[in-house]
């Protein structure tokens, strides 16, 4: 089992439930990659120093317990990701 199998399974189940109700899921099935972000940039600039610093970092694997899933309304109207919770489902 790969470390990203459990989050993928949760996402797949949620997508199936949405598709059963709406018949069309707004987000594509492929391309999902569970991750933990350490930074985000919405501008242009040199990346060499950042890539070198991150490449030299010795960071342990991240572990997370998924206790709930939220459906969100997502947009980028202000040049950044912004979202509002729409519904929350407790898991387990």
Q: Determine contact, residues 26/84, Cβ cutoff 8 Å.
A: no
Residue 69: name the closest of 11, 26, 19 by CA: 11
Residues 6+ apart with CB under 8 A from 92: 67
Place of tokens 């242009």: 44
pTM higher than 0.85 for the full model?
A: no
The pLDDT tens digits of the residues spanning 5-32 come to 888 998 999 899 889 998 888 888 898 8
Q: Looking at the predicted structure, is the pLDDT value of residue 82 above 90? A: yes
Domain ranges of the chain: 5-41+62-90
Residue 4: name the closest of 62, 83, 74, 71 by CA: 62
Alpha-carbon gap, residue 13 to 5, rounded angstroms: 12
């Amino acid at each position: 089992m790969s470390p990203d199998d459990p989050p993928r399974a949760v996402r797949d189940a949620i997508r199936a439930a949405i598709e059963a109700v709406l018949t069309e899921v707004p987000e594509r099935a492929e391309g999902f990659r569970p991750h933990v972000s350490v930074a985000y940039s919405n501008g242009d600039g040199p990346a060499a120093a950042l890539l070198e610093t991150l490449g030299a970092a010795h960071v342990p694997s991240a572990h997370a317990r998924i206790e709930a899933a939220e459906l969100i309304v997502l947009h980028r109207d202000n040049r950044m990701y912004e979202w509002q919770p729409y519904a929350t489902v407790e898991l387990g």
